[in-house]
Each structure stands twice: as structure tokens, then as C-alpha cells.
Structure 1
Amino acid sequence: MVSQPKIATQHEIIYPDSDGKPMAENTIQFRWIMTIYHNLAWLFALQADVFVAGDLLWYPVEGNNKIRQAPDVMVVFGVEKGDRGSYQQWKEKAIAPQVVFEILSPGNRPGELTRKLLFYEHYGVEEYYIYDPENNDLSGCIRSGDHLAMIEEMQNWVSPRLQVRFELSEETLTLYNPQGQPFSSPLEIEQQLQQERSRAEQERSRAEQVTAELEEERRKTKRLEMLLREAGIDEQERSRAEQVTAELEEERRKTKRLEMLLREAGIDGDRL
């Protein structure tokens, strides 16, 4: 039986997974989006109820597919991880993304930024961060009641939700995770992982070498014990023989020392 493709009825609303716009307009914007996304994804990798997404369409209102926005990066606390074609809020416990990031490009217009701010303010975003890498300009907003209020000082600002710190130098923006480590680009992370894999391989090889050396020593010890048993010498007898030899050697040293002292005193040891 051949199943017929499902055709949307007049009353069924489709929520597209794409708005037809590119994720980024240039390589700088793309690199920043990917850096923030990957570092936040790694930061919350072990928390099953924190969802991190990049360039994902967010529909806050059921029944209206015209009300939507695609933050460059968004973080949602309280919903499960997993793949989604879009973020349809009514299917996600009605939880709005709490933190969003926008990375500006030359194509951004003031009117567009204003519309985004009003959208995020109206639909419940708690923290909104905007970075312009071309001009190295950072700004942020935090929710105060029904409004998103500008953060007066972004230098060393720590996100209440993310516990990520923002540091703006004359050249660039650096974000630090809660452990104080700076965000790294995906390429830098891959290089670090390769270095760690190489170091781990060296440690494994060294451990195998030490294990082999210990095993060889054990084989030598067992071989020696076997030879001693074949010669009729057990371990206690061998230890006792070594002890007696050591005692005799000590007595010889004492005798030689006494003879030397007697000669120094002008006494012929043969006359004693």
C-alpha cells in the first residue's frame, strides 16, 4: 500500500524550519557564533535540562507563524536537550529562552536591532547580549520587571544565568567560563583535544613499558627462586647466609681497625 503525502489543511499552520536567511554574513560573524555556541554547549553538556542552539527559529505564539526570531545563540534552562527543526515554545513547557546572543555584521540595521530588542523584551528573554566584532563593541540588557534594561557596565560583567564573565580589551572580547578559562574557538578546542590525545597516548605507552619491565623483573625473580630451590637453598637459608657473610665482614673490619690502632700506639700486634 502506497501512503499518500500529508497535505496541510486550510486550518493547519506550518512552522517553517528556515527563514531563508544565512546564519552569518561573513566569516568573522560565523566564527563568533560558532565559538559562543560550542563553548556554551560544552559548558552545559552534562545538564540534561539545558538546551543550547544556534540560528534556530523560535516561535513563541502557537497559531502564528509570523511571530518568530532566530537568535544567533540562545540558551534555554528547563527543557531537554535534543534536535529540533524549530523552537515552538508551547511544546517546550511554555519556557522562553532565558539568554540570547546576537553577533552584529555590517548588514545589521538600527531598525532591525530595535525590533529584536522589543521581541526579546516582550517574549520573556532575561539576558540579551550584543557584540559587534568589527567595532569591538559590547552591550547587554537584563530583565527588570517587564522590561530589558541596559547593563551600564559590561566590563567584567558576569551573566547571572550562565555565570560567564565578559572581558573587553582594546582588541577583542573574551568570555570566561565559571572555572575562569577563556572561551576557545572550535579549531583551538580541536587542537587542544589532539594535544591531550597525544599526551594520553604517550602516558599509555609509558605505562605499558613500565608494566613490561615489572613483568620482566617478576620473571627473573621467579627464575632465581626456582634455581635456588633446585640447588637445595631456600629463601631463608639464602638470607641467613647473606647475614652471616655480612657479620664476618664486619668482624674483619673491626680486627683491621684494632691492629691499626695498636701499631699507632707502638704495640706489635704479634706480641699480644
Structure 2
Amino acid sequence: MYNPTQIIDEDLLYPSEDGKPMAANTEHFNWIVLLKENLDALFADREDVLVVGDVFWYPVRSQLIAPTAPDVMVAFGRPKGKRKSYRQWREENIAPQVVFEILSPSNDPDEMSRKFEFYQQYGVEEYYTYNLETHDFDVWLRRRHRLVPVRRTNGWFSPRLGIRFELSHGVLEVFYPNGEKFLTTIEMIQRQKAAEQFAEQERQIAEQERQIAEQERQIAEQERQIAEREKLRADSSEQQLQQLMAALRDRGINPEELLN
């Protein structure tokens, strides 16, 4: 029998997917991964920073408001962990502060206009778009209740993230606060392998130095023992000579005369 007060599974009311692909092409996907993985690395020590990619954001608990799925978004003040979707009422009503959109031919102007209005209405503080075809890089910052475009974006520092964006020969590059460049997953693996190889070389050099130091210690110990034995022999010879001279004197013989 139907119960009108029956609780409907929230996952059915707020689905986590719409059947559309995550990315329009390989370059689009690679950029999403580049931002997501490097931002994860940047905030690896911060348990209160959540970085997600291609996840539906539901700003309010209403089926009348359609969600949107930023390519990458960062929510400060939210714990790391798995999310089927970002349901803001489950996240202490904290809106993601930073959003990235990587533009591809599949993003039509109407869609991007709707997304902009969504981000403006629901509290995004920093909004970034990068067009893979034209290499246009655009930034909007929140000023009071509106997202305002930034005129000069080359060399731009993110107030929230502390990262830097540079257009090098027309192609966007992103840098950590310490100046290191955002790396692809393959580049990260290669760097890790290189670091491991360097560490192994350093370990081998340290082991060789330890062995050389041990050999030098053993040689020094052998030389000390030889010197000690020679000293003992010298002391023994001197003692024997003194005893002989004493015996001669006991017999009335002057040992100095014999030596002369």
C-alpha cells in the first residue's frame, strides 16, 4: 500500500550523473586531470579542503534548481572524502569557492552563460575559464554579490589557491606557490622515479663513504696496534738492558767501560 509520507531515496531525487561524458576530447580530459591532481597535491596536508572534478553541485535542496558540474571545483572548509555529488545542504551550506571550466567545442555560449549565472548566484569567489582552441584565459572575482572580470590575467595569482597562471607562447601554464609547474600524471611519476633513483644513488654513495671510513678506521687501528707492539718491544728491550747493566754492577763490572 502506498504511503504518502514514505521517504524517497535522496539519490533518486538528486542523481550524480546525467549520462553525458566527462570530457569532450582527450585534451579536455587531460586538463581536468592536470588541475584536479595538482590541486589535490597542493592541499594534501589540508584535511579541510575538498577538490573534485566533474561532480554535480546542488546548491539548494530543490528539484526546481538544476545542478551544474564544474570541470574542477575547490571547497574550503569541507573534509576530503568521496562524493556522489556536492549537495550543499550536506556540506554545512558551504559553496565551493573556486571553479574551473575548460572550454571545448561542445560548450555552447548558452550553456556557459547559464553556468556563469549559476556561479554568480550561488557564491563562487573565483571563476576561471580556459579555451582549448583559442587559448583565451579569463578570470572573474567576486566583488560583493557579483563576479567581476579581471582585465590582466597573465601572471595572475589566485587569492584563494596561491597558484599562478602564465600564458607562455599562447599556452596556459599553472605554477605552485613555490614556483614549480603543475605536472601531468606521467610527469609526476617520472619525477618520483627520478627522486627515488637520486635517493638510491645518495644511499649508495653514503654506504661507500661509510665503508671507506670503516676501512680507514681499521687501518688506523692496525697502525695503532703495530705502534703499541713496537713500544712494548722497545720498553722490554730497555728493561732488559737496565737489568743487564744492574747485574754487571753487582759483579763489580762498570757497564759504561764495556760500552767504551
Short-chain TM bin: 0.7 to 0.9
- The 2-side partners of 1:16 and 1:213 are apart by 66
65 and 218 in structure 1: CA distance in 2 versus 1, 3 angstrom threshold: farther
Residue 118 (structure 2) pairs with residue 102 (structure 1): no
Summarize the alignment of residues 162-201 of structure 1 with structure 2, pairs less than 5 Å apart.
Answer: 162-201=161-200
Aligned match of 2:59: 60
What do you get for the CA RMSD once the two structures are aligned? 2.1
Q: TM-score, normalised by structure 2?
A: 0.81
65 and 177 in structure 1: CA distance in 2 versus 1, 3 angstrom threshold: farther
Offset of 1:129 from its aligned partner?
0.4
User: Residue 189 of structure 1 aligns to a residue in which SS?
Assistant: helix
Offset of 1:231 from its aligned partner?
4.2
Residue 112 (structure 2) pairs with residue 113 (structure 1): yes
Residue 128 (structure 2) pairs with residue 129 (structure 1): yes
Structure 1 window deviating more from structure 2 (219-228 vs 157-166): it is 219-228
Offset of 1:82 from its aligned partner?
1.7
Aligned match of 1:73: 72
After superposition, give the CA deviation of every residue in 1:176-200 in whole Å (9 maximum; x if it has no partner). 2211222222222221121111111
Offset of 1:230 from its aligned partner?
4.0
Identity %: 44
- The 1-side partners of 2:67 and 2:189 are apart by 34
2:10 is matched with which residue: 2, 13, 38?
13
Residue 90 (structure 2) pairs with residue 91 (structure 1): yes
- 1:13 and 1:65 in contact (8 A); partners too: no
User: Residue 16 of structure 1 aligns to a residue in which SS?
Assistant: coil
User: Residue 125 of structure 1 aligns to a residue in which SS?
Assistant: coil
After superposition, give the CA deviation of every residue in 1:144-167 in whole Å (9 maximum; x if it has no partner). 121111212212222111122221
- The 2-side partners of 1:128 and 1:78 are apart by 18
Aligned match of 1:264: none
After superposition, give the CA deviation of every residue in 1:177-228 in whole Å (9 maximum; x if it has no partner). 2112222222222211211111111111100111111112222222333344
User: Residue 157 of structure 2 aligns to a residue in which SS?
Assistant: coil
Q: TM-score, normalised by structure 1?
A: 0.77
Q: Which runs of 5+ in 1 are unaligned?
A: 1-8, 238-272
Aligned match of 1:216: 215
Residue 122 of structure 1 aligns with an amino acid whose one-letter code is Q
132 and 48 in structure 1: CA distance in 2 versus 1, 3 angstrom threshold: same
User: Residue 32 of structure 1 aligns to a residue in which SS?
Assistant: helix
Q: Which runs of 5+ in 2 are unaligned?
A: 1-5, 236-260
After superposition, give the CA deviation of every residue in 1:122-178 in whole Å (9 maximum; x if it has no partner). 111111100011111111211112111121221222211112222123430111221
After superposition, give the CA deviation of every residue in 1:38-71 in whole Å (9 maximum; x if it has no partner). 1111111111211111112222112438531211
- The 1-side partners of 2:87 and 2:21 are apart by 20
- The 2-side partners of 1:109 and 1:72 are apart by 15
- The 1-side partners of 2:43 and 2:176 are apart by 11
- 1:61 and 1:67 in contact (8 A); partners too: no
Aligned match of 2:258: none
Aligned match of 1:42: 41
Offset of 1:229 from its aligned partner?
3.4
User: Residue 45 of structure 1 aligns to a residue in which SS?
Assistant: coil
Residue 13 of structure 1 aligns with an amino acid whose one-letter code is E
- 1:140 and 1:154 in contact (8 A); partners too: yes
- The 1-side partners of 2:9 and 2:64 are apart by 11
224 and 65 in structure 1: CA distance in 2 versus 1, 3 angstrom threshold: farther
* Matched positions, count: 228
